Amino acid sequence: MSYLIDIVLIALSAALINNFVLYYFVGICPFIGVSRKVEMAFGMGCAVTFVISIAAIMSWTITTFVLMPGAPLSAWVAGFFVSSESAAKIDLTILSYIVYIFAIASSVQFVEMYVRKFFPLLYKSFGVFLPLITTNCAILFACLKIMSNIVGVDDPADAWDLGRSLTLAVFGGVGFTIAISIMAGIREELELCDIPKPFKGAAITLITGGILAMAFMGFTGVDSGLKKAMTPAPSIEMKAPQNTAQ
Amino acid sequence: MADQPTSMERFIQGILPENPVYRQLLGLCPTLAVTNGMKAAITMACAVGFVLLCANVMISLIRNLLKPHLRIVIFTLTIATFVTIADRFLAAYMYEMSKTLGPYIPLIIVNCIIICRCEVCASKQPVITAASDALGQSIGYGLALSSVAAVREILGTGMFFEIRVLPTAWPDWVIMVLPPGAFLTFGLLLGWVNWMTSRYAAKKQVKGSL
Amino acid sequence: MEGLKDNKIVQAWLVLLLAVLFGGALSGVQMTLGPAIEANKINETRQKVPELLGPSSANGESLDIVSRSVNVDRQGKKVFYSVYEASVNGKPAGWVAKAVGQGYADKIELLLGLDPGLNKITGLFILEQKETPGLGNKIVTPEWRGQFIEKSIQSPLEVVKTGAETPYEINAITGATISSRSVTEIINSAVKDLKKPLSGQTRPLE
């Protein structure tokens, strides 16, 4: 049950509360560049969601088995060269950035080849965006977030499993799709507006994005409220009578 | 190749006429994300400058050995390495700052400025030119970041470099240090820069026709 | 020789060479900076310990700090705490526990100082929070945190809007009742979880 709550909270937080674009500012380049038409924006969003999920699976696997301090696979390999105590302490986190970026680049390549071969229709709708995605910050950002939730926790039992990581990635991608599609819808209308010349294009998009970000700020606190509502019994029983003033 | 800009021209061009943020719209993620305080913005600009300079020099040194189809791989490898070095350096000597900047330091890897400069300039030019190009672009980047950060920090907290500059009666515009403030500030500044540029260009044209 | 030249691996010699070169550079960086980074990470919480135990705890003498982890069973769910045990010349001087919980926005991570007899709070420090700037993030101010010092932990603390009177009441921050309540709740549950495992034993437990 508590696992399910966790998943729901991660999903909600990634998609709406801490939206990748409007809260963390990752993936701003496509947000401004590819948000002219709703169909294009939606295609881009789908492509990002697709790649981000694959990258998340890869980065979770690599981090857990190879990169994190005392990771089983690297400890096993190192065991052939050094004593088993020092092999257990092996820490390859310094390589993580390089590994992630290459994992992303290669997964984009494979996805592109695979989709072009087996799903030509799908390729037609979002294939053109695939090469652009390698340099999309959102993907690397998702990998880094997953890493910080595996390496950066005090209690090894708190480290994220594949399910949580995948939820973060998929709903991060969904959040990106939501943001970019709303933006594209607004921009289609903006075409008909009389915007001062210097503000045409990127500037007005950014200002609109600011207003959107303000709207999304309204979601703050939803997660803490939801958590309280879904947790079956309060963790602390209050001795004093409940204060009705609150 | 006669009208190739010299290294000095490249240096000056990077600062204002071809400012990476305002004119080329590159590297926007950190421009919006880390500009709620001057200190963070300056640190970020220094980190980007370091990576850009090292990557440009490195690529320029090996430019004759590059093969077209392996070019991007080498760029990425170089950039990722220098970003890791910068990240570790910050964690060792400026721990607080590295926690504040968090994931935005590793995100320099996918910052379009660096790979763009490697591709456009460093892979074709000798070391001195590449280095001055990198310096110019980083100064331009630093200027852009600090312009956004200055507005946001002063209006949002009434402080500049964490020193109070506005009277305490100033009602802090909290929205400025929150995410929407980044979009609004940068959008307005970008529009203002566009307006100034077009006015400047119009003036020049009038002068030229006389 | 011709076959060798067309080989993909041979073509990529520059990539491989660079990879080896950069690998060497990175291991050098790790060797020189690694210890400093580790020390930073540990000091971040450890340096706060004397401050959190209050001025009277050490009496100018140096504290011995031992860190350990405590696993607690809370309603069938395992909860994990990092606890620092401080002592002066072998005599217990107090406890500092790191506790995490849900705030208004994202998690709040704090350090809680307790006296050796587990009777009162000696200090509170917010390590990490993402509460609303200008409202919720006032939980980090010494004025607000100061309310918790010397509070007894015999019964759970409670948040009131204004005018805390009884020894178990805490004033909420105006406009940030949820943030204030979150911090208080984190403290309450940490105290409840840790009271049993910490009391009665001053030396290692696993």
Residue B85 sits at the chain C interface (C-beta within 8 Å): yes
CB-CB: which of B80, B81, B112 is closest to A29?
A: B112
Distance between CA atoms of residues A177 and A183, nearest Å: 10
Q: Are C171 and C163 in contact (CB under 8 A)?
A: yes
Q: Is the dihedral of CA A192, A197, A203, A204 positive or negative?
A: negative
Q: Is C185 on the interface with A (CB under 8 A)?
A: yes
Condensed to tens digits (0 to 9), the pLDDT of residues C103-158 reads: 887 788 888 888 888 888 888 888 888 887 778 888 888 888 888 888 888 888 88
Alpha-carbon distance of A76 to C185, in angstroms, equals: 43
Give the contacts of A37 (CB within 8 A, at least 6 positions apart): A184, A188
Local confidence band at B47 (pLDDT 50, 70, 90 cut-offs) = very high
Lowest model confidence (mean pLDDT) among B58-67, C33-42, C160-169: C160-169
Radius of gyration of chain B measured on its C-alpha atoms: 19
Convert the pLDDT of each residue in C5-24 to its tens digit. Answer: 666 667 778 888 888 999 99
The reported pLDDT for the residue numbered A243 is 44
Distance CA A42, CA B73 (A): 29
CA gap B8, B136 in Å, rounded: 9
Boundaries of every domain in chain B = 7-209
Question: In chain A, count of helices (H) and strands (E)?
Answer: 12, 0
Q: How confident is the model at residue A237 (pLDDT cuts 50, 70, 90)?
A: very low
pLDDT digits (tens, 9 = 90+) for B81-109: 999 999 999 999 988 888 888 889 999 98
What percentage of chain A carries pLDDT values higher than 70? 92
Q: What is the mean pLDDT of chain C?
A: 80
Edge to edge, the sheet with strand C77-88 lists: C64-74, C77-88, C91-102, C107-114, C121-128
Residue B125 C-alpha, separation from nearest chain A C-alpha, in angstroms: 24
CA atoms of A42 and A234, how far apart (whole Å): 42
Please name every residue paired with B163 in a beta bridge, in sequence order, or none if there are none.
Answer: B160
Dihedral angle over CA of B27, B30, B32, B38, nearest 10: -120
H/E run at residue B191: helix B179-209
C12 with B63: CB under 8 angstroms?
no
Instruction: Tell me the CA distances in angstroms from A154 to A108, A157, A166, B101, C43, one per residue in order.
Output: 33, 9, 21, 21, 15
Residue C81 in contact with residue C69, Cβ under 8 Å? Answer: yes
Poorest-pLDDT segment among A134-143, B16-25, C46-55, C193-202: C193-202
- Interface membership of A141 toward B (CB under 8 Å): yes
Q: Residues near B177 by Cβ (< 8 Å), separated by ≥ 6?
A: B36, B37, B152, B153, B156, B157, C133
Count how many residues are written for chain A. 246
Express as a percent the part of chain B with pLDDT over 90: 37
Q: List b or e across B72-88, with b for residues whose CB sees 16 or more CB atoms inside 10 angstroms.
A: ebbbbbbbbbbbbbbbb
Distance of alpha carbon C169 from alpha carbon C147, whole angstroms = 9
Q: Which residue of B has its CA nearest to C129?
A: B100
* Whole-number Å distance between alpha carbons of C90 and C92: 6
Q: Which two tokens stand for residue B2?
A: 């006669």
Which tokens go with C171?
Answer: 């004033």
- Residues in chain C closer than 8 A to B84 (CB atoms): 26, 29
pLDDT tens sequence across A25-44: 888 888 887 888 888 888 88
B193, closest residue in chain A (CA to CA): A198
- Chain C residue numbers with beta carbons less than 8 Å from the beta carbon of A235 are 74-75, 185, 189
Entry pTM: 0.86
The alpha carbon of residue B66 is apart from the nearest alpha carbon of chain C, in Å, by 8
Tell whether B89 lies on the interface with C, counting CB pairs under 8 A.
yes
pLDDT (tens digit per residue) in A158-206:
788 899 999 999 999 999 999 999 999 999 998 888 888 888 888 999 9
Helix A137-151 vs helix A96-118: crossing angle, to nearest 10: 130
Q: The tokens 């190192």 sit on which residue?
A: A78
Average pLDDT, chain B: 87
pLDDT at B172: 80
pLDDT tens-digit readout, A41-97: 888 888 889 889 999 999 999 999 988 887 888 888 888 888 777 777 778 888 899
For residue C94, the SS3 value is: strand
Query: Does pLDDT of B115 surpass 90?
Result: no
Which chain C residues are within 8 Å of A236, Cβ to Cβ?
A: 156, 185, 188-189, 192
